[in-house]
Amino acid sequence: MLIPCPVCGLRDHGEFVYGGDATRLRPLISSDNAERWAAYVYDRRNPRGPHEEYWQHVHGCRQFMVVTRNTETHDISAVRLVGPWALRESG
């Protein structure tokens, strides 16, 4: 499987570390709703099909990115950087 890193280009997934489901929302730190904290920690949609997930290019640019990958075919339809270097001028 090859992952198109926005910084380094198309690279083998062995250079990356997987970070799991990127769609779950953490409750506010001040939230005392135990049910929602538990849902955040434990519950997953786990779809067959497009899945938004974190990867870090540890053996490359070390950037974090959200990859939209089809879990059945491994086709990657979108990649975007996240973190402090994500926002940049276009062109």
Q: Which helix (H) or strand (E) holds 5?
A: strand 2-5
Which of 10/41 has CB closer to another protein? 41
- Report the residue count for the chain: 91
Q: Is 41 helix (H, G, I), strand (E, B) or coil?
A: helix
Number of residues that bind another protein (CB under 8 A): 26
Q: Kindly state the smallest distance separating residue 87's Cβ from another protein, in Å.
A: 26
For residue 70, give the amino acid letter.
N
Binding another protein by CB under 8 A: which of 9, 33, 38, 86? 38
Closest among 89, 50, 44, 43 to 67, alpha carbons compared: 50
**Residue 22 in contact with another protein, rule: CB under 8 A:** no
**Residue 32 in contact with another protein, rule: CB under 8 A:** no
**Residue 66 in contact with another protein, rule: CB under 8 A:** no
